Amino acid sequence: MEFINGIKNTILNTRKSFERFPITIIMSTILTLLLIYQVEVSYDIAQEMRENLMRITMTVGLGIMLSLCIGLLNERFIKSNKVRLGNYIVGSFLLVLYYNLLLKEFNMVAMTRYIGTVVFLVIVFFYALKLKHDNNYEQYVIKVFSGFFITALYSAILFFGLIAILFTIENLFEINFKSNLYLYMFFIVVFIFGVSLFLSKIPGKDEEFKFNEYSKSLKVLLLYIVIPLITAYTIILYAYFIKILITWAWPKGLVSHLVLWYSVISVGVIFLITPILEGNKLAKTFKVFFPKLILPILVMMFMSIWQRIEQYGVTENRYYVVVLGLWVLGIMIYFNFKNPLRNIVIPISLSIVVLLSIFGPLSSYSISKSSQNNRLNKLLEENNLIENGILKSNPNVDSNVQREISNIISYFHSNHDLDDITVFPDDYEIEDTKNLLGFDYNPYLNIIAERDYFNYFINPNGLVIDVEGYEHYVNMSSWNTDAINIGNNIEVRYETDHILKVEVVGKDIESIDIEELAEKIHNEVVVEPNKSMVDKKDMTIDFEDENIRLRLIFTNLNGSIDINSKEFQLQNADFILLIHLNK
């Protein structure tokens, strides 16, 4: 009976969620239909129409979160139905603007801005209903998360149950459903059932929370598992910090990411334990000391990321690390000086940071483009490639400088527009680099241009190997250094220094330098530049002495040559080995 009542309550609450958030559920239903339609016609429509459909789908997806935030703000502040409707109309206008102005292309800027906008709206969702009334705010957030996990569980059970039913019908009654039906079922369960159920779990603006409602399992998780782990992690980072002070070696770039995510998680932990600070000594101790202990670690993180910025300038990724780090630093200072805490400051400040980082003159895009342009101008001036604002050609520029300039051009080409390079002509194309600067565009010059790479192989199609006059046929590869026993009297082994050893019981060991043979093929046989496929006869080398006769047929050789020193380096070799013992 309780089970049936539970189902009835779930259905009733889902119906109430439509009364509370009708626009959000309608948008979610439209998104479901668009996704199904997109799958159905994806291979039948032109590329331009497919992209337009994708943009519409993304805009509707954004509208789900926007309408939810508007609904919560209306519920919290607005009593007039006309004003509430007006807010939804403004929201619709913003979506139209976003579609027309910010989703013109599917490039890095458009995609990261879209993700950032979604993140901003998600954060706003968590505090929209509690502005100016944030009593027991932490428990409100916990209740929202609890509703999300319940929704995920219910949706998963429903989805897999429906799959089981369809699969059973399909197999028992020999009915062939469309292959996409399972995907459509997923869309319906997630975006119609799941969204409706989750909205029904959002607490009302006047709902009160009591102290004894704090989850015991969450309390145990935070106090006796998460906090000890964070403490151990802090000790490790302090040990590394002490090592830096002793050796005076600057921290590695990886440190910034290790510290950043650990500190963000720590902010979340302090947020969640706030309701139990007064009644729990461990929680209170952690809240008092940790925000102080993490400050030197954050300084170490900023030292680490600053090295990269000083060398290579600001990019979007480095911008996000710095900005998120500054936000964490600000929150930790807030934790140190504010008591009691008003933790609604955390999501409000974070949403402002996210918004500023994707829109306006302080955005990651504006700052990064400005930084890379300044870096490019500096390189051009230092290497006499520009004078009085006019570019000069200099083919003798150091290869490392050529690489750095090419990498900056590559950054604009991949992430923005070549038009954003302020010092270059408006009609600049990558092919114009040599005319402008005197050297070719090559963003990987430090990795590739210093070495000339080769890869030689014979065509495996129709490959015939004549084994007449040989007793043994062995496939060998440089990656396999295990000994190969042939009968009772021959052992073949490829060693890590590219030496092939063939040992015959009772006779001397024969050693063949495979790298030397590969270099011979490279120098004497392969005369055409950039040639890869080589005739079998040119990849065949014979070896014979009084004890043994060998034929090596190389099927693949790859390696590199240092452009300056001409040093030959073999990386991998695959070959067929034919063996004949001289009686």
**Tens digit of each residue's pLDDT (9 = 90 or more) over 90-126:** 999 999 999 999 998 888 999 999 999 999 999 999 9
Q: Which pLDDT belongs to residue 345?
A: 94
Q: What is the mean pLDDT of the chain?
A: 87
User: Would you list the DSSP string of 208-259?
Assistant: ---GGGS-HHHHHHIIIIIHHHHHHHHHHHHHHHHHHHHH-PPPPTHHHHHH
305-363 pLDDT, tens per residue? Answer: 888 888 889 999 999 999 999 999 999 999 998 888 889 999 999 999 999 999 999 99
pLDDT at position 25 over 60: yes
If pLDDT is split at 50, 70 and 90, which confidence band does 254 have? low
pLDDT at position 488 over 80: no
Determine the Cα–Cα distance for residues 311 and 372; give it in Å rounded to an integer: 11
* Torsion angle, alpha carbons of 202, 203, 205, 207, to 10: 180
The DSSP secondary-structure symbol of 430 reads: G
Per-residue burial over 468-477, b if 16 or more Cβ lie within 10 Å, else e, is: eebebeeebe
Determine the Cα–Cα distance for residues 569 and 200; give it in Å rounded to an integer: 66
Q: Which pLDDT belongs to residue 1?
A: 52
Q: Which pLDDT belongs to residue 568?
A: 85
Q: Which pLDDT belongs to residue 85?
A: 94
Q: How many residues does the chain have?
A: 583
Tokens representing 290 are 């940790």
pLDDT at position 135 over 70: yes
If pLDDT is split at 50, 70 and 90, which confidence band does 249 have? low
Q: Pick from 337, 301, 331, 330: which is nearest to 318 by CA? A: 301
Structure-token match 């039906």, residue found = 181
- Of 505 and 65, the structure prediction assigns the larger pLDDT to 65
If pLDDT is split at 50, 70 and 90, which confidence band does 189 have? very high
Determine the Cα–Cα distance for residues 60 and 200; give it in Å rounded to an integer: 21
Q: Which pLDDT belongs to residue 496?
A: 78
pLDDT at position 530 over 70: no
If pLDDT is split at 50, 70 and 90, which confidence band does 447 have? very low
Contact indicator for 63, 27 with CB cutoff of 8 Å: yes
pLDDT at position 229 over 60: yes
If pLDDT is split at 50, 70 and 90, which confidence band does 7 have? low
Q: Which pLDDT belongs to residue 446?
A: 45
Determine the Cα–Cα distance for residues 490 and 505; give it in Å rounded to an integer: 6
Determine the Cα–Cα distance for residues 298 and 276; give it in Å rounded to an integer: 27
- CA-based torsion, 223, 229, 232, 233: positive or negative: negative
Beta strands in 423-567 (DSSP E): 451-457, 472-477, 484-486, 490-494, 499-504, 509-513, 540-544, 548-562
- The secondary structure element, H or E, covering residue 540 is strand 540-544
Determine the Cα–Cα distance for residues 314 and 324; give it in Å rounded to an integer: 14
- Of 19 and 370, the structure prediction assigns the larger pLDDT to 370
Q: Which pLDDT belongs to residue 445?
A: 45
Contact indicator for 511, 501 with CB cutoff of 8 Å: yes
pLDDT at position 149 over 90: yes
- Rg of the chain over Cα atoms, rounded to whole angstroms, equals 33
Q: Which pLDDT belongs to residue 10?
A: 62
Q: Which pLDDT belongs to residue 564?
A: 62
Starting from the edge strand earliest in sequence, which strands make up the sheet with 509-513, in order?
484-486, 490-494, 499-504, 509-513
Most confident of 104-118, 198-212, 551-565: 104-118
The DSSP secondary-structure symbol of 448 reads: I
Residues 364-391, mean pLDDT to the nearest whole number: 92
- Of 390 and 228, the structure prediction assigns the larger pLDDT to 228
Lowest mean pLDDT among 66-70, 85-89, 122-126, 531-535: 531-535
What residues contact residue 501 under an 8 Å CB cut-off, 6+ apart?
492, 493, 494, 495, 509, 510, 511, 512
In three-state secondary structure terms, 57 is: helix
Contact indicator for 526, 534 with CB cutoff of 8 Å: yes
Determine the Cα–Cα distance for residues 25 and 197; give it in Å rounded to an integer: 10
Q: Which pLDDT belongs to residue 50?
A: 87
